[in-house]
Structure 1
Amino acid sequence: MTHAHALQLNCLNMFSLKNKVALLTGAAGHLGLFMAYGLGQAGAHLILNGRNESKLIELQGNLKAQAIESTILPFDITDSNLVREKIQYIERNFQHLDIIVNNAHSGRACDFQDATSEDFHRDYNVDVIATFELIKASLPLLKKAVSINEDASIINIASMYGMVSPDPRIYGDSKMNNPPHYGAAKAGLIQLTKYFACHLAKDRIRVNAISPGPFPVEEVLNSLTEFKDNLTSKVPMARTGHPIELQGPLLFLASKASSYVTGINLPVDGGWTAW
């Protein structure tokens, strides 16, 4: 980009995703719903992935009511054959892929004494191996996007618990204990982000991570008052996050507004990891 070209850019236009295609995994989940709206409102055509087709259809209908275009693509991202098949579908129908948001996760809450090796295998398979396979299969479409729009972005959704350990004192008897396999898998995802950022930089494909902090579902906040108080006591901003607060960071990393940003892990945690 020349200096003259840079001066002609409108700051707000840098955040636009118009004419871009974005694949969002885990699209119908607690955080994924708000990510879908954020990307769609910025102009992207959404490819919504998840394993629950009925939830994806419902989300697609709600997005359509806001004039947001989307395509549903329900499949299990841990099936590498299916991944390659669905990427071929995207190639046939869209020719390129500008943005991938790896948001899928599968796991269970438990104490470390109850965790099993199967838990570790499952979480690592979804968060790290499936992400690796999806990125690898998508490379030709990401490179095509670069040739068209001069930019492609991969955003991996990690966690503050991929950076620091959970404090067991805040969970008490809530049965909301964050398990060891969750943080281990998210830490692996952060490292994978840095690896791909360095190895894909030559292709002008940017790779970054977002590490959400405490974003509990509404039911938890309403039913477990003591747990909520313990949780917020760990946050410098003294409150939990709302999923809509992930839209800004996501849009920044997905758009040309972050054209010189790759390899970072952006905590969105109210300061949790700053203590």
Structure 2
Amino acid sequence: MSRTVLVTGGNRGIGLEIARTMADEGDKVAVTYRTGEPPSDLFGVRCDVTDPADAERALADVAKQYGPVQVLVANAGITKDALAPLMPEDDFRSVLETNLVAAFRFARLAVPHMVRGRWGRIVFMSSVMGFLGSPGQVNYAASKAGLLGLTRSLAWELGRRRITVNMVTPGLIETDMIKNVSDKRRDALLAQTAMRRVGTPAEVAAVVRFLAGDGASYVTGAAIPVSGGLAMGQ
């Protein structure tokens, strides 16, 4: 199996682990990145996911290199934390633009080719904070909660065309994104985590790999937690 896979924000953290896991399975994998350099072992496309023209160019570059995208993992995301009364409106808007609007943008651009091929996989990367909420993260939590409605609406639209759309909701995962989490907040989250430990990017990537494969052909519209039990039942 060698499909064309695009992972947005795939140059570090969970995105990079997903990209390499898919490449190890034999897929042709491309990643978008905004700053720095792409991984030397993957096809990288510099892209500001909040720029519609940049997004179109990125999809075109991937199609030229490997063919139209068949598996999209919308992973690009940012945080700009502050308590709501102190949060600039621009910070609220920019987080939604990156985490939610860009996810829709890439899906909208990739779907026509999937429809023509009558096969496709879309995976949105959310967070348990979209269900729990989090102090100082009204923008981030709102953007990740919005992905649920996006996932399920697209699942209804695309199901008859053999295109699945699912969402993965990681909990506390050992990446750069949690380095600034205070010890007090980290301990509080771990106390709410049944397994009492932090997860790894590889554990998230394994679930994405499943959703992108034939074994998940009857799974769509799902919100799958990879959280060690944090926010279970939400």
Question: What's the RMSD between the two structures over aligned residues?
Answer: 2.2
Moved more, 184-193 or 124-133: 124-133
- Kept in 1: contact 2:166–2:223 (CA 8 A): yes
Q: What's 1:41 paired with?
A: 24
The 5-angstrom pairing of residues 195-234 of structure 1 reads 195-217=153-175, 225-234=183-192
Q: Give 2:48's match in structure 1, choosing from 58, 76, 101.
A: 76
Cα distance in 2 between the residues matched to 1:236 and 1:139: 37
Q: What's 2:224 paired with?
A: 266
| 1:190 Cα deviation from its structure 2 partner | 1.4
Q: Give 2:124's match in structure 1, choosing from 151, 156, 161.
A: 156
Count residues with an aligned counterpart. Answer: 233
- Kept in 2: contact 1:25–1:102 (CA 8 A): yes
CA, structure 1 residues 26+223, in 2 after alignment: closer, same or farther (shift >3 Å)? Answer: closer
Which of the pair has more CA radius of gyration?
A: 1
| 1:112 Cα deviation from its structure 2 partner | 2.7
Cα distance in 2 between the residues matched to 1:112 and 1:263: 31
- Kept in 2: contact 1:115–1:180 (CA 8 A): no
Q: Give 2:196's match in structure 1, choosing from 213, 238, 262.
A: 238
Higher helix share: 1
1:24 and 2:7 aligned: yes
1:112 and 2:84 aligned: yes
What one-letter code is carried by the residue in structure 2 that aligns with 1:85? R
What one-letter code is carried by the residue in structure 1 that aligns with 2:226? V
Gaps of 5+ in 2: none
CA, structure 1 residues 28+218, in 2 after alignment: closer, same or farther (shift >3 Å)? Answer: closer
| 1:92 Cα deviation from its structure 2 partner | 3.1
Cα distance in 1 between the residues matched to 2:15 and 2:164: 21
Cα distance in 1 between the residues matched to 2:175 and 2:60: 35
- Kept in 1: contact 2:151–2:166 (CA 8 A): yes
Cα distance in 1 between the residues matched to 2:145 and 2:84: 17
TM-score w.r.t. length of structure 1: 0.78
CA deviation digits over 1:181-231, x for unaligned, max 9?
Answer: 100011111111111111111221111000011114379679954443333
| 1:53 Cα deviation from its structure 2 partner | 4.2
Cα distance in 1 between the residues matched to 2:194 and 2:50: 37
- Kept in 1: contact 2:7–2:75 (CA 8 A): yes
1:98 and 2:70 aligned: yes
Matched-pair identity in %: 25
Provide the secondary structure at the position in 1 that maps to 2:129: helix
